[in-house]
Structure 1
Amino acid sequence: MTNSKLHKISVVTPVYQGESTLPGLAEEMAALTTEQVTPDGHRWVVAEWLLVHDHGPDRSPDVLGGLDEKFDFVRPIWLSRNFGQHPATLAGMASSTGDWIATIDEDGQHNPAELGTFLDVAMREQAQLVYANPLNPPPHGRFRNATSKCAKWLVSKALSDGAPATFQSYRLMVGEAGRSVAAYVGTGVYLDVALSWVMDRVAQAPVTLRAEGGRESGYSFRRLLAHFWRLVLTSGTRGLRLVSGLGIAFSLSGFLYAAFIIVQSIVTQSAPPGWPSTFVIILITSGAILFSLGVIAEYIGVLVGMAMGKPPYLIVTDPKDGPWQQRPQPR
């Protein structure tokens, strides 16, 4: 059975070196600008394709200009300089108009025809955000895949205040929530961390990744390391709270060990004169310093949350009237 509501999807693609891959991807996208039906019977269409030029080293601007002339659904967005993948994605999200926002890489490894699978998962689970769940290893090599998986797990389990461990650059999200994230998020914040602040229901859709179109990855080891470090720094204040916890733990350990040394020196009287008191002073002073650093870290954590633009709340429409409802919209 086909549902009557037509879901309009805005597709956002940050462009850094897409000269060789964008034309083929455009043909695939053009086939989705007419009405499609998912396996679960949901009607959808690609309403616009926002190509955000991020000043790469190739002739991507010429390709974007040609696609803009050839296809009505293509919307180039020109950034003033190179800002990086996530800021470019945010720029496209802020400029979108669809009921849903999908983010797709320029290299061709993401098949846009699988957007219907994302929509089925979102509707079935009433999810606000759906990530790709690759059924095959990403085409990056074993070392990069393994380190990427470990880094995501570390941030999700140890450092983040709620970011999922399975986030991917192939995503589908509710349009109004995605545009709100793009409006308030602070400079340099990792996109998936910002999404985790406001997305209550997150799901995964099974997809098959393709090869990267025969071009080299735009991420060197140095850039990947910087990418990971930005993820760590913006993942939340849990790392700062670890500093606070360590301060308290060392302070208590110092007092306990100091008591042990005092008792031992009284009982055995084997310690050199003045040594127990000196060691006790060092332990207590070090513990006090670490505890003070922990208190300072708590204050810094509050300031970090404010600087990153984490909102205290986000107002959205009634879910019954949102993109999950099945009734056709009034004209």
Structure 2
Amino acid sequence: MTPLHAPGPTRISVVTPVYQGERTLPVLAEEIAALATTQTSPEGHEWVVAEWLLVFDNGPDGSADVMASLAEAYPFVRPIWLSRNFGQHAATLAGMASSGGDWIVTLDEDGQHDPRDIGVFIDVAMREQAQLVYAEPTNPAPHGALRNLTSRGAKWFFSIFLAGGSVTTFQSYRLVLGELGRSVAAYAGAGVYLDVALGWVVGRHAHAPVALRSEGEERRSGYNLRRLLSHFWRLVLSSGTRALRLVSVLGAIFAVAGVVFAIYVVIATALGAQTPVGWTSTMVVALLGTGAILLSLGVIAEYLGVAVGMAMGRPPYLITSDPQNGPLARRPGRR
């Protein structure tokens, strides 16, 4: 796609995956409309929202109708229709692939993030020469304490054990160089975790301080426990072979523990001591060993599943025309 870059302010493409934004999108549209004219960041950089790409991910509410009405009301709104529900990261990739701005901003539909903070992102990117800038919340997320705790724990686990400490934190509110984001969207495979894919190619990333807003009581989060666990598991699988290395480490730990226990039993028996060998200890060892084996096989099977899906050509997303204006919308007697 021909880039939107031209002399003048930095042009921003805002990408929003839409699942259940029927009530939140109109308010967000008013905020972004105020940014469709030239803005000046706190450090003096000029920028403008050139397009807002709304990617319909086939949610359960009336988001499609809201998107269509916003496209009629605002010239900068570009609806993108997916053939089915592919998930937030796939929808974001579809929007990034369809964008043309100098920079791409990914912004959730729930109103938790303030679009006016884009200027802060740009300042951080220019000051630190970063290709990717993540939001750094200055206040707790407006979720339950358990969800916030598990979210921080998952990101810490990924940073330490799966990313080698190269990633400290990441958020869905991010600014990424346009050509870099479009390239990632072009080659990312099915089931990929967007932040992992970005980490493969980004030379330098930074963080911008932002304040999180409440999502509002009218909108219920689309992420239940099952979705959140699936989200984390995709993060693990997208991290490459590090999870397999952890499995190898787990096997080595159990092997060493078995050798140490065997030496202990032999020595204790030779000295005439009472050794804890019996039905209970045998069952404990058997259960632990079986659990480790099944866990290892499960991780390997998941990797094989991802590889098979990619080998079969499974697309991460598929863009279609507006279903309300396509062949499915035709009525008897209508041409």
**Aligned equivalent of 2:236:** 232
Matched, 1:67 2:70: yes
Helix, strand or coil at the partner of 1:12: strand
Instruction: Give the whole-Å Cα distance in 1 for the aligned partners of 2:250 and 2:23.
Output: 51
Helix, strand or coil at the partner of 1:212: coil
| Correspondent of 1:19 among 18, 22, 30 | 22
CA displacement at 1:244 relative to structure 2? 1.8
TM-score (norm 2): 0.76
Match of 1:63, as an amino acid? V
Structure 1 residues 262 and 239, CA, compared in 2 at 3 Å: closer, same or farther?
same
Helix, strand or coil at the partner of 1:121: helix
TM-score (norm 1): 0.77
Instruction: Give the whole-Å Cα distance in 2 for the aligned partners of 1:199 and 1:68.
Output: 33
Matched, 1:114 2:117: yes
| Correspondent of 1:246 among 247, 250, 275 | 250
Structure 1 residues 147 and 65, CA, compared in 2 at 3 Å: closer, same or farther?
same
Runs of 4+ in 1 over 4 A off after TM superposition: 249-265, 267-271, 296-309
Q: Deviations over 1:44-69 (max 9, x none)?
A: 11111000000111111111111111
Helix, strand or coil at the partner of 1:210: coil
| Correspondent of 1:177 among 180, 196, 204 | 180
Helix, strand or coil at the partner of 1:167: coil
CA displacement at 1:301 relative to structure 2? 11
RMSD: 3.2
Structure 1 residues 47 and 162, CA, compared in 2 at 3 Å: closer, same or farther?
farther
Q: Deviations over 1:276-317 (max 9, x none)?
A: xxxxxxx9xxx9xx99x99x99999998997898xxxxxxxx
Structure 1 residues 221 and 82, CA, compared in 2 at 3 Å: closer, same or farther?
same
**Aligned equivalent of 2:130:** 127
Instruction: Give the whole-Å Cα distance in 2 for the aligned partners of 1:302 and 1:145.
Output: 28
**Aligned equivalent of 1:186:** 189
Name the count of aligned residue pairs.
291
Match of 1:220, as an amino acid? N
Instruction: Give the whole-Å Cα distance in 2 for the aligned partners of 1:105 and 1:228.
Output: 18
Alignment of 1:85-124 (within 5 A): 85-124=88-127
CA displacement at 1:250 relative to structure 2? 4.4
Match of 1:65, as an amino acid? A
Instruction: Give the whole-Å Cα distance in 1 for the aligned partners of 2:234 and 2:303.
Output: 18
Q: Is the 8 A contact 1:130 1:203 kept in 2?
A: yes
Structure 1 residues 67 and 35, CA, compared in 2 at 3 Å: closer, same or farther?
same
Instruction: Give the whole-Å Cα distance in 1 for the aligned partners of 2:133 and 2:32.
Output: 20
Structure 1 residues 228 and 255, CA, compared in 2 at 3 Å: closer, same or farther?
closer
CA displacement at 1:264 relative to structure 2? 7.4
Structure 1 residues 41 and 301, CA, compared in 2 at 3 Å: closer, same or farther?
same
Instruction: Give the whole-Å Cα distance in 2 for the aligned partners of 1:163 and 1:303.
Output: 26
CA displacement at 1:31 relative to structure 2? 1.1
Give the gaps of 5 or more residues in structure 2. Answer: 1-6, 278-284, 311-335
Helix, strand or coil at the partner of 2:10: strand
Residue identity (%): 62
Structure 1 residues 269 and 70, CA, compared in 2 at 3 Å: closer, same or farther?
closer
**Aligned equivalent of 1:155:** 158
Q: Is the 8 A contact 1:12 1:89 kept in 2?
A: yes
Structure 1 residues 270 and 136, CA, compared in 2 at 3 Å: closer, same or farther?
closer
Higher mean displacement: 85-94 or 182-191:
182-191
Match of 1:126, as an amino acid? Q
| Correspondent of 1:223 among 220, 227, 230 | 227
Q: Is the 8 A contact 2:191 2:306 kept in 1?
A: no
Q: Is the 8 A contact 2:237 2:303 kept in 1?
A: no
Helix, strand or coil at the partner of 1:172: strand
CA displacement at 1:98 relative to structure 2? 0.6
Instruction: Give the whole-Å Cα distance in 2 for the aligned partners of 1:297 and 1:21.
Output: 40
Q: Is the 8 A contact 1:54 1:82 kept in 2?
A: yes
Structure 1 residues 308 and 171, CA, compared in 2 at 3 Å: closer, same or farther?
farther
